[in-house]
Amino acid sequence: MTYSNRWKDFPDYIIGITREIWEDRGIETLNQYYAPDILVRTPMGMAIGNLSTINATMATLAEFPDRELLAEDVIWSVDDNGHHLSSHRIITTGTHLHDGGFGPATGKRFQVRVIADCAARGDQIDDEWLVRDYGGIVRQLGMDPRTCAAGLIAAEGGPARAKRPFTPNADVPGPYVGTGNDNPWGQRYADTLRRIMDKDFTYVLNAYDRAAIGEFPGAQSVLGARAISGMWLRLRSSFPSATFRIHHRIGMEGAMMSPRAAIRWSLDGIHDGTGWFGAPTGAPIHVMGICHAEYGPWGLRREYVLFDEIAIWKQILMHKGEA
């Protein structure tokens, strides 16, 4: 790998370029670090090409000039062709100092998590999936996720013309075709998520540490296996018949760290139950999720779950024809 001259290892490269691009304001280095035709998939939609990443980065920094991106973990794998996949968990903070995509400046501070799955070859990122806790930002700026989604639809020309959130049929295959690795910790976490999605919520009470910490969308932090089980239930209950799929699975054991896992997954189906997203509407829904887990001697000890509440509300409201 060509990055070896500048960076100690793969996580160091990921953490280093994140800092260089966003915090040290080396936005033009995206030309070097991001492939020109990169596909960045987020729950809100797909961005094609490096230029859109550069422009979006500037827009964010214009609105939140003190934005920081604190690397919390890098869980990674490498496929047979030397193609790396980094699942990078970041705490992002900023103050809403200027008007922008989140409306008139509120002066409020946000602090939420993001997980970015980036494929890298050499020292260039060439494929990406990113889930931001959009709902957490919105709540911390004093707004409500549903109202925010309605506002976006209105601003984009109403339910018929607003930009559609990401769905699998709008996806374009990118250069990365890996599915992760076979490390047992990844397999174990995949099994846990499958059981949860099979509605075996009791399992959570056994597989998780009684005192586990769970971090959920909306910047909602919960304590204990029972509370974590309740959060998963609220999600599944909104889309009880949706199909659950695992797209990427990494398990990893590293020096100075608990064994851990990173899984990218999706739910496809209909908003046909009452739960996290209110009364059922029959809206077709795609949920892009990325989760990280850390294991300890008493079970799953910390879990970080990300999906985008705003992208889900947008799908619901566009289906209902509401803005």
Partner 1 sequence: MQGFDPKWRDVPDFIFGVTREIWEDRNIASLRHRYAPGLIVRSPASVVIDTSNVIAATMATLAEFPDRELPGEDVIWCEDPARTTPQSAAFLSSHRLISWATHIHAGVYGAPTGRRLCYRILADCAIRDDRIDDEWLVRDQGAIVRQMGFDLVGWTRDLITREGGPEHCVKPMTPHNDAPGPYAGRGNDSPWGARLADTITAIMAAEMGVIATAWDRAANLHYPGGEPAFGQAAADQFWMGLRASFPNAAFTLDHVIGREDPLMPPRAAVRWSLWGKHDGWGRFGRPTGAEVYVMGITHVDFGPFGTKGEPAIRNEFTLIDDAAIWKQILLHTGDL
Interface with partner 1 by CB under 8 A: which residues? 8, 11-12, 15, 68, 70-73, 90-91, 93, 111, 209-211, 221, 223-224, 254-259, 295-298
Instruction: State which residue, 117 or 127, has the beta carbon closest to partner 1.
Output: 117
Instruction: State which residue, 94 or 165, has the beta carbon closest to partner 1.
Output: 94
CB of 15 to partner 1, least distance (A): 7
Question: Is the Cβ–Cβ distance between 41 and 130 less than 8 Å?
Answer: yes
Look at residues 130, 54, 41, 38 and name the one whose alpha carbon lies nearest to residue 88. Answer: 130
CB of 304 to partner 1, least distance (A): 11
Which long-range CB contacts under 8 A does 272-275 form with residues at least 24 apart? 272/239, 272/240, 272/241, 273/237, 273/238, 273/239, 273/240, 273/241, 274/237, 274/238, 275/233, 275/234, 275/235, 275/236, 275/237, 275/238, 275/239
CB of 43 to partner 1, least distance (A): 23
CB of 69 to partner 1, least distance (A): 9
Look at residues 297, 304, 134, 137 and name the one whose alpha carbon lies nearest to residue 214. Answer: 304
**Angstrom distance (rounded) from CA 146 to CA 190:** 30
**Angstrom distance (rounded) from CA 309 to CA 47:** 19
Query: Which residues, in sequence order, are bridge partners of residue 269?
Result: 285
Can you state the percent helix, strand and coil of the chain, rounding each to 5? 35, 35, 30
Instruction: State which residue, 54 or 227, has the beta carbon closest to partner 1.
Output: 227
Amino acid at 91: I
Instruction: State which residue, 69 or 152, has the beta carbon closest to partner 1.
Output: 69
Instruction: State which residue, 185 or 313, has the beta carbon closest to partner 1.
Output: 185
CB of 73 to partner 1, least distance (A): 8
Helix or strand (DSSP H, E) at 247: strand 243-252
Q: Which tokens belong to 27?
A: 């936005």
Question: Is the Cβ–Cβ distance between 134 and 44 less than 8 Å?
Answer: yes
Instruction: State which residue, 155 or 223, has the beta carbon closest to partner 1.
Output: 223
CB of 296 to partner 1, least distance (A): 5
CB of 233 to partner 1, least distance (A): 19
Instruction: State which residue, 62 or 223, has the beta carbon closest to partner 1.
Output: 223
Instruction: State which residue, 66 or 144, has the beta carbon closest to partner 1.
Output: 66
